[in-house]
Structures are given as C-alpha cells and as structure tokens.
C-alpha cells in the first residue's frame, strides 16, 4: 500500500494540530532536557557519507548519487518531525527517539536531503529538535529556550563536522523550516563576515521567512549560478496571501524556477520535476512559481492524488514541488564555484 503523499501528510498534520496534539507539559524549565547527542557516534547523524541512509536514495534510475568522490559537502538541517504524535510531551525530542527518527528519515532525509546527493557528500545531524508547538504557543519564553537547546546541538554538530570531516572543503548549507531557523544562526556565527565565508557555495534557507539584510556580508542570490549567497522561499497556493506569517517587501524570496528575486512569473513548463508520491516517480511540470509580496505562489501541484489537496499552505512541499530544479541548481552553483 502506498504511503500518503508528502503533501497529503501535511493536511493530516494540520488536522491533528487542531484535534489530537500531544503537547509539552508545563514550562520548559519544569522538566530536564533529554541527553545531549554525541556526534562521534554515527547514530547521532541522520545522514553520513559512506553509510547507507535515506540521503542516498534516487527517485529515478536516470539520476546518479555523486557523493563518492564529490569535491564539496552539504550540511543539511532537517525540519520538525517532533510534531505531537504518540506521547511527544516534552519541549525537545530525544535524539534516541526511534519513532521521531523514523519520521525524519522517511520524510525530510528521503524527500529533501536526497536532492543534494547529486552534488556533494551529505551530512545531516540529528538534534534535540523543538516540539512543533513552539511555533504556536503563547509561552514564548519556553519556545525560545527549546529552539536555543536545539541550536546548541546544531552548533556542536557543525563544529564536530568541521574538525573531523570538512578539511577545508567548500560546502552548501541546506535546511527547511525549523532547520532553517538554525541554519540562519549558523551562517551568522560561522560564515557571515568571517574567513570561512569563502567556503560557502550557497545556502538554501527554505520554509521560513528570511528578512532582507539578515546577513552583513552574505548576499541574496540573484542568478542561477551565483555563489557565496543564499536563497529562500515559502510556498502557498496561487492567489492566497497568508496573514499568520511575516511577509511583504522586507522578506527575501527566491523563485526556484528562475533563481531571481523578481516577481516575474515562471510557467510550469520550466519545472523539471516534482517528487511527491510515490518517491520513485518524477512529475515534470508539476507547478509554476512566482514571487509575490515576500512569499512564493504556486498553482496547485499536479500529481497522483492531488484531487484531495485542498489546503493553501504548501510549506511541506517547499522542496519537493521543485525537486529537480533545486538538484540541478545545486550542481550549477557547485560547478561555478569549483571553476572560478
């Protein structure tokens, strides 16, 4: 039996948010955090080069995994998979939580991190991710502390990566949703205006609003082959303007079909393929793209089961609707960087 599509899972998630959530109990300070991960232990990584994992999978036989022998690395930060299911009652997930790890691996690592195996060695740390509720709660103090704890793991994972794996290699930073919150901080701390900035091929900060001027020295990408820059978008159904997230002229938004920040319409014919459901199928011309007031508009994607897609928030498909375009763009930027 086929799994529900990743977009349909998003609809189920929204329903669950309203009716069946398992929420953190009390304030952040009222319960001890789970043990910190040890990044010398491979089990603390969702993806590591040289080991079989979901970052190695390919949606079609025509594609190749180029991690072996790749000249660049990819440091991928996964989105929230600690969503309030089956007793998720703490502010942060334990890295050893097998059910949460399965959601991470079968979701973000398979459907997002795998995009980048065509260009570099993929590293994806597990971290004590904050509960999805932190984005909705009125307890903003606990929410901030949960995010800070999660980032402390991301920071230590990156330091371990730099010491043991990087060896001065150029790299791509890629992230989605909560992962993008942490990637933004990581870029500010380790790259923006530092000597290490020259190692940055590009950053894909997807699924969260990134304000223009967030970085002092790292520019927004304005062309498909620009390097040392970042891209960002947050996807909604064409014609819908959300009132629940920051948007407008202060938010940097990239068109993943044109790789510019202009509001030029990109028709679906430019979409080289979405990867939705099943994973082992590519859907060419699945949707279009247009920057609009700090968000990305996309027409309802066309895929098996799309008849049941009634939502206007395509956040869970930010990467997947444009899977093949992102994969090709990462290669283009890497080639430009290596040949400069």
pTM of the model: 0.93
Q: How much is the average pLDDT of 176-204? A: 98
Q: How much is the average pLDDT of 312-329? A: 96
Model confidence over 45-96: pLDDT tens digits?
999 999 999 999 999 999 999 999 999 999 999 999 999 887 788 999 999 9
Q: How much is the average pLDDT of 30-37? A: 93
Q: How much is the average pLDDT of 7-24? A: 51
Tell me what pLDDT residue 248 has.
86
**At 15, is the pLDDT very low, low, confident or very high (cuts 50, 70, 90)?**
very low
In the 8-state DSSP scheme, what is residue 176? E
From CA 43, how far away is CA 116, in angstroms rounded? Answer: 21
From CA 329, how far away is CA 340, in angstroms rounded? Answer: 16
From CA 219, how far away is CA 196, in angstroms rounded? Answer: 15
Q: How much is the average pLDDT of 214-228? A: 98
Q: Is the pLDDT of residue 294 over 70?
A: yes
How many CA within 13 A on the CB side of residue 156?
16
| Burial (Cβ within 10 Å: 0-12, 13-18, ≥19) of residue 193 | exposed
CA dihedral 278, 181, 165, 152 (to 10 degrees): -130
Tell me what pLDDT residue 246 has.
79
Q: How much is the average pLDDT of 278-288? A: 94
Q: Is the pLDDT of residue 287 over 50?
A: yes
User: Under the phi-then-psi rule, with left for phi > 0, alpha for psi from -120 to 50, and beta for the rest, what region is 48?
Assistant: beta
**At 17, is the pLDDT very low, low, confident or very high (cuts 50, 70, 90)?**
very low
> At what angle are helices 178-190 and 140-161 packed, to 10 degrees?
60
CA nearest to 76, candidates 169, 160, 180: 180
How many CA within 13 A on the CB side of residue 276?
27
**At 215, is the pLDDT very low, low, confident or very high (cuts 50, 70, 90)?**
very high
Give whole-number Cα distances, 214 to 172, 246, 316, in Å. Answer: 18, 14, 24
Q: Specify which residues 73 forms β-bridges with.
A: 121, 171
Collapsed DSSP state (helix, strand, coil) of residue 296:
strand
Mean pLDDT, all residues of the chain: 92
Six token digits for residue 47? 């993806």
Tell me what pLDDT residue 14 has.
43
Domain residue spans of the chain: 6-338
From CA 157, how far away is CA 75, in angstroms rounded? Answer: 10
Higher pLDDT, 25 or 141: 141
**At 245, is the pLDDT very low, low, confident or very high (cuts 50, 70, 90)?**
confident
Would you say how long the chain is, in residues?
Answer: 340
Omega prior to 278 cis, within 30 of 0:
yes
Q: How much is the average pLDDT of 115-125? A: 98
Tell me what pLDDT residue 18 has.
40
Omega prior to 249 cis, within 30 of 0:
no
Q: In this structure, are residues 141 and 169 in contact, taking their beta carbons and an 8 Å threshold? A: no
Q: Is the pLDDT of residue 149 over 60?
A: yes
In the 8-state DSSP scheme, what is residue 163? I
Q: Is the pLDDT of residue 7 over 50?
A: no
């Amino acid at each position: 039996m086929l799994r529900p599509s990743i977009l349909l899972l998003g609809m189920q998630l929204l329903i669950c948010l309203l009716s069946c959530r398992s929420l953190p109990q009390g304030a952040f300070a009222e319960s001890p955090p789970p043990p910190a991960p040890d990044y010398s232990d491979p089990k603390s990584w969702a993806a590591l080069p040289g080991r079989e994992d979901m970052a190695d999978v390919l949606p079609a036989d025509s594609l190749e995994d180029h991690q072996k022998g790749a000249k660049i690395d990819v440091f991928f930060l996964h989105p929230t998979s600690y969503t309030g299911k089956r007793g998720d009652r703490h502010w942060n997930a334990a890295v050893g939580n097998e059910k949460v790890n399965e959601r991470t691996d079968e979701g973000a690592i398979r459907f997002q991190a795998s995009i980048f195996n065509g260009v570099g060695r993929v590293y994806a740390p597990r971290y004590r991710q904050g509960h999805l509720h932190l984005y909705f709660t009125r307890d903003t103090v606990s929410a901030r502390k949960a995010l800070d704890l999660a980032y402390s793991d991301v920071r230590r994972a990156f330091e371990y990566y730099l010491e043991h794996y990087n060896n001065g290699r150029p790299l791509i930073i890629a992230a989605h949703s909560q992962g993008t919150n942490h990637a933004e901080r990581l870029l500010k701390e380790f790259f923006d205006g530092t000597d290490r900035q020259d190692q940055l091929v590009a950053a894909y900060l997807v699924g969260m609003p990134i304000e223009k001027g967030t970085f002092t020295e790292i520019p927004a990408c304005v062309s498909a082959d620009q390097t040392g820059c970042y891209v960002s978008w947050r996807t909604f159904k064409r014609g819908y303007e959300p009132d629940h997230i920051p948007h407008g002229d202060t938010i940097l938004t990239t068109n993943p079909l044109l790789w510019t920040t202009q509001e030029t319409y990109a028709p679906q014919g430019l979409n080289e393929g979405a990867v939705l459901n099943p994973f082992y199928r590519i859907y060419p011309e699945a949707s279009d793209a247009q920057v609009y007031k700090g968000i990305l508009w996309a027409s309802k994607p066309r895929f098996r089961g799309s008849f049941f897609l009634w939502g206007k928030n395509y956040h869970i498909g930010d990467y997947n609707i444009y899977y093949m375009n992102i994969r090709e763009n990462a290669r283009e930027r890497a080639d430009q960087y290596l040949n400069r």
